[in-house]
Amino acid sequence: MGPAAAARAEGERLLAAFAAAGALRVEAPVLLPAAALIDLWGEDIRGRAYVTRDPLAGEMVLRPDFTVPVVEAHMAAGAEPARYCYLGEVFRAQERPSERPREYLQAGFELFDRTDPAAADAEVFALFAGLLDGLGLTAVTGDIGILAAAVRGLTTTPARKAALLRHIWRPRRFRRLLDRFAGRSPAPPERVALIARLSGSDPASLAAAAGPLVGLRGGAEIARRIAALVEDAAAPPIAAPEAALLYDLLGLAAPAGAALAHLRGITPLMPAIGPAVDRFAARLAALAARGIDPAALPFEASHGRSTLEYYDGFVFSLHAADPALPPVASGGRYDALTAVLGRGRSIPAVGGVIRPALVAALREGRA
Query: For 164-187, what is each residue's pLDDT tens digit?
Result: 998 998 899 999 999 999 988 776
* Alpha-carbon span 285 to 122, nearest angstrom: 9
Q: What is the mean pLDDT of each run of 10 residues along the chain (367 residues)?
A: 89 97 94 77 68 82 89 85 95 72 93 95 98 96 96 94 91 93 78 63 60 60 68 83 95 97 97 97 98 96 82 95 92 91 86 96 83
**C-alpha of 309 from chain center:** 3
What local confidence, expressed as pLDDT, does residue 200 receive? 62
Closest-CA residue to 314 (of 346, 347, 284, 272): 284
Burial class (CB in 10 A: 0-12, 13-18, 19+), 258: middle
Tens digit of each residue's pLDDT (9 = 90 or more) over 247-262 = 999 999 999 999 999 9
What local confidence, expressed as pLDDT, does residue 212 receive? 65
Assign 3-class secondary structure to the chain: CCHHHHHHHHHHHHHHHHHHCCCEECCCCCEEEHHHHHHHHHHHHHHCCCEEEECCCEEEEECCCCHHHHHHHHHHHCCCCEEEEEEEEEECCCCCCCCCCCEEEEEEEEEECCCCHHHHHHHHHHHHHHHCCCCCCEEEEEEHHHHHHHHHCCCCCHHHHHHHHHCCCCHHHHHHHHHHHCCCCCCCHHHHHHHHHHCCCCHHHHHHHCCCCCCCCCHHHHHHHHHHHHHHHHCCCCCHHHHHHHHHHHCCEEEHHHHHHHHHHHCCCCHHHHHHHHHHHHHHHHHHHCCCCHHHCEEECCCCCCCCCCCCCEEEEEECCCCCCCCCEEEEECHHHHHHHCCCCCCCEEEEEECHHHHHHHHHCCC
Residue 251 contacts by C-beta under 8 Å, 6 or more apart in sequence? Answer: 301, 302
* Alpha-carbon span 22 to 240, nearest angstrom: 50
What local confidence, expressed as pLDDT, does residue 258 receive? 97
Residue 29 contacts by C-beta under 8 Å, 6 or more apart in sequence? Answer: 63, 69
**CB-based contact 226:206 (threshold 8 Å):** yes
How many Cβ atoms sit within 10 Å of the Cβ of residue 271? 10
How many Cβ atoms sit within 10 Å of the Cβ of residue 177? 17
What φ, ψ does residue 350 adopt, rounded to 5°? -145, 150
At residue 138's C-alpha, the angle toward residues 137 and 144, to 5°, is: 130
Residue 209 contacts by C-beta under 8 Å, 6 or more apart in sequence? Answer: none
Please tell me the CATH superfamily of domain 1-28+63-137+327-367, with its number: Bira Bifunctional Protein; Domain 2 (3.30.930.10)
CATH 3.30.930.10 occupies which residues in the chain? 1-28+63-137+327-367
* Alpha-carbon span 171 to 308, nearest angstrom: 13
Closest-CA residue to 339 (of 142, 61, 64, 75): 75
**C-alpha of 106 from chain center:** 18
What φ, ψ does residue 221 adopt, rounded to 5°? -65, -40
- pTM, whole model, 2 decimals? 0.87
What local confidence, expressed as pLDDT, does residue 219 receive? 58
